[in-house]
Amino acid sequence: MPMVKQPLTIEYALLGFVRQQPMYGYEIHQRLLESAELGLVWTIKQSLCYAILTRLEEEGLLQSVVEAQGTKPARKILHLTPAGEQAFLHWVRSPVAHGRDVRLEFLAKLYFARQESRDAALKLIDQQRHVYMQRLIELRAWAAQMELERSYDWLVLRYRVGQLEAALGWLELCTDWLEEGLGEPGPPKNLTI
């Protein structure tokens, strides 16, 4: 059975940048390098960024317009297509399925959801909390069944329970951050530490 290629989180993030405003590839890559953007989440080589943008255009999620620059080489300005818009919105509004996806995928979704609105970001957090609570209930029940034997499987389950508990605490921090107005897009707030 052939493998089905799943889009990478970075692909959706690139769509998200172009959704904010039409851009050219170099500009997108520069935004990925900035810590105020997603630079603390990803490191991506410029050549890989361009390759992904080309593939997204081939798949009909982006379209380009060539812009002349006088004596400089022409550059391609990328625009989001309706299919790209639909794919991005479906992605950004959906919680992640696994705890391992928080580091890259959920952080990117939260970044773009808060660009939409505070309410969109809070809704995403709430959906994520629900997914994790359901999974936590399952894992706790499974671990409880193994409590007496305390096998290796029990140890692994206890680790996963701890991860989910920590993730739920972090989601609460995200909610507080947004509700206090600290998560508003725009220039960083002047905070004293």
pLDDT, position 188 = 42
- Identify the residue with better confidence: 186 or 109: 109
Distance CA 135, CA 130 (A): 9
22-67: pLDDT as tens digits: 999 999 998 888 867 788 887 889 999 999 999 999 999 999 999 8
Question: Residue 193, SS3?
Answer: coil
Burial per residue of 27-45, b for 16 or more beta-carbon CB atoms within 10 angstroms, e otherwise = ebbebbeeeebbeebbebe
Mean pLDDT (whole number) for 180-184: 72
CA 54 to chain CA centroid, Å, is 20
The answer to whether 75 touches 23, Cβ cutoff 8 Å, is no
Q: Which residues, 6 or more positions from 39, have their beta carbon under 8 angstroms from its beta carbon?
A: 32, 33
Confidence check: pLDDT of 189 > 70: no
Q: Which tokens hold the place of 153?
A: 């499987």
Distance CA 101, CA 9 (A): 9
Question: Residue 191, SS3?
Answer: coil
73-97: pLDDT as tens digits: 888 999 999 999 999 999 999 999 8
Distance CA 112, CA 89 (A): 10
Q: Which CATH class is domain 1-92?
A: mainly alpha
